[in-house]
Amino acid sequence: MVVRADLAGQPAKLAVQVRPPGGRPMPAVSHPYWLRDNCPCADCRDPRGGQKRFQIGDLPDGLTAVEAVEDAAGLAVLWSDGHRSHYPAGWDAPAGPDERTEHAKRLWEGGDFARGLPEADWAAYLADPEERIAVLAAVRRSGFALLRGVPVEEGRVLAVARSFGYVRETNYGELFDVRVEPDPANLAFTSAAIAPHTDNPYRDPVPTLQLLHCLRNDCAGGDSGLVDGFRAAALLREEDPAAFALLARVPVPFRYRDRGAELSAAMPLIGLDPRGAIREVRFNNRSTDTAALSALPPAELDAFYAAYRRFAAITLRPGLRLDFRLAPGDCLVFDNTRLLHARTAFEPGDGTGGHRHLQGCYADLDALASTLAVLRRDTAVLDELEELFAGEGAGEYLGEDVTLAAHMLQAAGLARAAGAPPALVAAALLHDIGHFRGSGRELMAGTDNRHGAVAAARLAPYFPPAVTEPIRLHVDAKRYLCATEPGYADRLSPASAHTLALQGGPMPPDEAAAFAAHPFGPDAITVRRWDEAAKDPAAPTPTFAELRPLLMESMRP
């Protein structure tokens, strides 16, 4: 990183040669407003959620950097208004591409899945975060995933949606039944074939995800088909750029009406981001209200229909389409802003509602993406903790006969054996991580390292209070027990007795009364007892890997 600061003359620009890790070097002349807008100090950004604490207009006019110093840890800047910023190395790693455009997707044709669909067993998906990550990542990347073995019960499709997001209720209800109806207002509720389309194009915002859960499918026909609308649009762009540009530019009115609804939206068939990347496809001839297109200049009307027919023909190319059959218990989750779905005709069965019955609902991609990111973040946090246990954790524990890692693992083992809930097992497992990164040595050297508070603060972004509060309070719990339980102080290990004084000694009565009344006081006391008992080199010690699923479970409320 190269820093030059013109500290004297005209409103200075701070030139920073930014070289993002792994990225191409960027010869950025960093505008002071950009740099200052990204000041990471706690006055400028809430350290918890990263929310900015100022408005862009709060920055003074003519802002300049009057001092800029680079050190090993990053870049320190003194601003003309007296504010000081420190940017740690790597602070401005640019974000990846917008995850909703074609650039973040795997564009596919049917044959690409010859070796199998992206799928998972529902039970495994629920039990294993890695399975959940794989399924949700497939929906983002390929536009769909298939969950197998979802219980064949009405309403279960809602539970699938809620496993990663929120149900988007529409005029069709929270969920809808796809089966033959006696007097259908919608082609979906007949036994006819349905050409590839997206759903609800007459809604804005359109539901960005759709789920279809198969309850019964024992009739002849009724197979499912998917087409990657982004791939189809990319082919149109390749083969007829003018047609592509037209479909991306002309808003097409979509409309749906029935007794209770009068829905309409006007959107292009192909939606682009501001830089021209494919970001959304709406395709549903049934719901186009094309009469309104007569507002187009006549020449464009001709060209529009030619382009529309060309795009439609591409979506019907057999090579593009992925055909498969939903069996009872299968739940298809797919991106309704990208994939077109279809079905073949089927024999309508015995007239009592037919032999093909799906239940569907809508949801949204943003919550799915959030759930995926949280799962990945939580997995990374557990990886980091596992490394700490294997690394620093193998070191000595304040002079006890067990290592720090063994001590915490034993405490968690005792909690698990006692049938404690996951949050309390997690609290036992992580109660001393405040000693990691060298801070345990401070305590032995005579300074209270406040390791309960340090651990709680480190864990708070990822674990709920039911985990972090007993950890924060576990040192106070020792002080409480020494003050209130006869004989407790005498049973402390020599090291624990040594640190008691540094930590404030036994609690005075008013402090003890407040502690006992704290909502997490009793949990902290429980953790404390396991803590004291977990210093036996001969005791059984579970591994971190064994406890990891419980730990993961404790991260979600």
- Cβ-based nearer residue to a copy of itself, 293 or 552: 293
Of the pair 13, 106, the CB lying nearest a copy of itself is at 13
CB of 7 to a copy of itself, least distance (A): 19
Nearer to a copy of itself, 427 or 481 (CB): 427
Q: Which is nearer to a copy of itself, 11 or 446 (CB)?
A: 11
Which amino acid would we find at residue 139? V
Q: Between residues 205 and 505, which has the closer beta carbon with respect to a copy of itself?
A: 205
| Sheet containing 331-335: order of strands | 119-121, 144-148, 331-335, 209-217, 356-363, 176-178
Give CA–CA dist 380/130, Å, rounded: 11
CA distance 283 to 270: 8
| Preceding peptide of 182 cis, ω within 30° | no
Nearer of residues 460 and 500 to a copy of itself, judged by Cβ? 460
Q: Which two tokens stand for residue 199?
A: 């759903």
Min. distance of Cβ 15 from a copy of itself in angstroms?
Answer: 9
**Min separation Cβ 550 and a copy of itself, Å:** 18
Minimum CB separation of residue 533 from a copy of itself in Å reads 30
Class of residue 28 by CB neighbours under 10 A (exposed 0-12, middle 13-18, buried 19+): middle
Q: Which is nearer to a copy of itself, 64 or 496 (CB)?
A: 64
Mapped to the 3 state alphabet, what secondary structure does 97-148 carry?
CCCCCHHHCCCCCHHHHCCCCCEEEHHHHHHCHHHHHHHHHHHHHHCEEEEE
Q: Which helix (H) or strand (E) holds 482?
A: helix 474-484
The tokens for 263 are 């829905």
Distances in Å between the alpha carbon of 50 and those of 87, 89, 198, 282, 294? 14, 18, 36, 35, 49
- Shortest reach from residue 230's CB to a copy of itself, in Å: 16
In three-state secondary structure terms, 446 is coil
Which amino acid does the sequence have at 341?
H
Which residue, 39 or 534, is less far from a copy of itself as judged by CB? 39
3-state secondary structure 324-367: ECCCCCCEEEEECCCEEEEECCECCCCCCCCCEEEEEEEECHHH
HSE-CB for 515 with a 13 A CA cutoff: 25
Our CB check for a copy of itself shows the closer of 84 and 556 to be 556
Q: How far is the CB of 90 from a copy of itself (least distance, A)?
A: 11
For the CB of residue 292, give the shortest distance to a copy of itself in the complex, in Å.
Answer: 4
Q: How far is the CB of 557 from a copy of itself (least distance, A)?
A: 7
CB of 91 to a copy of itself, least distance (A): 7
